[in-house]
Amino acid sequence: MTNPILSMNQATIKYADLTTALRVCSEAGYQSIGLWREPVEEVGLDTAVKMVKDSGLRVSTMCRGGFFTMEEGPARRASIDDNRKLIEETAAFDCHVLVLVVGGLPEGSKDLTGARLRIGEALAELEKDALDAGVTLAIEPLHPMYCTDRACVSTLGQALDIAAPFNPKAVGVTVDTFHIFWDPQVQESIARAGREGRIATYQVCDWKTPLEADPLLSRHYMGEGVIDFKPLTEAVWNTGWRGDIECELFNQKIWDTDPAVVAKKVSDAFDKEVAPYWPL
């Protein structure tokens, strides 16, 4: 039986459309799913909401918003408007977490400091929208190798510093083992996130070297790599946070595998590597 706190992030079964993803998760005994906007948009929001409701699954997170680092202009206005739309779509599923990949360096820029400042400025514009919708904007720090193209926030501490001026109900953080396991301050940062009420979601997968030719596709089943899930999971547990734990895998071989097989392997890996440190 699939652990009731394990959620299947839809990216793990990327090639499954929404109908298939919901069916696979339900048949495998999952109780929640992390949705991505593209499969939702393929069927339309109203239809997707009905499909999820009929499936009996809860939605742990919506992925993904963000990309706030461009300078003021039409592209930035479009990004802010798009995130407002995503906040509304997240709330439509009775989901309370919108994961943010904040963006890297704008084209032609080397100004990381300025890029990071513009993240906070965007969040200031979106805070009220998030509060009104009951949605937490969950800043996801990404591993430093993604600093320039995807997320110029690389540590949990950086994410917490950016979130600090805002209501914790509006702006929180994503704790993703793949991205933060290497950080010497990760234990202190998780504890701080707990004290400040900022943990919005906990995501798990493993790091294995050598990396794939495309580093984006280097996420592995828990237990296949070098991440020690015990101290990270215990640290999150000790904060008092009690949400669904998502498995999010970007890996071409996994994407090419039958989604039902992936669902079983994720569940087995979770039971072995994560669940022992998360008392039910």
* The pLDDT of residue 17 is above 90: yes
Adjacent-strand bridge partners of 27? none
Q: Is the peptide bond before 150 cis (omega within 30 degrees of 0)?
A: no
Confidence of residue 226 (pLDDT cuts 50, 70, 90): very high
Ramachandran bin of 260, using left for φ above 0, alpha for ψ from -120 to 50, beta for the remaining angles: alpha
Q: Under a CB-based contact definition with an 8 Å cutoff, are residues 228 and 164 in contact?
A: no
Q: Under a CB-based contact definition with an 8 Å cutoff, are residues 33 and 263 in contact?
A: no
Question: What average pLDDT does the segment 229-255 reach?
Answer: 98
Adjacent-strand bridge partners of 206? 220
Sign for the pseudo-dihedral over CA of 35, 55, 198, 87: positive
Digit-coded pLDDT (tens) for 112-147: 999 999 999 999 999 999 999 999 999 999 999 999
**Which residue, 28, 30, 26, is CA-closest to 51?**
26
Question: What average pLDDT does the segment 96-102 reach?
Answer: 98
Q: Is the peptide bond before 215 cis (omega within 30 degrees of 0)?
A: no
* The pLDDT of residue 280 is above 90: no
Average confidence score pLDDT of the chain: 98
Q: Rounded distance, CA 96 to CA 87, Å?
A: 9
Q: Rounded distance, CA 15 to CA 269, Å?
A: 21
What pTM was estimated for this model as a whole? 0.97
Sign for the pseudo-dihedral over CA of 23, 26, 30, 31: positive
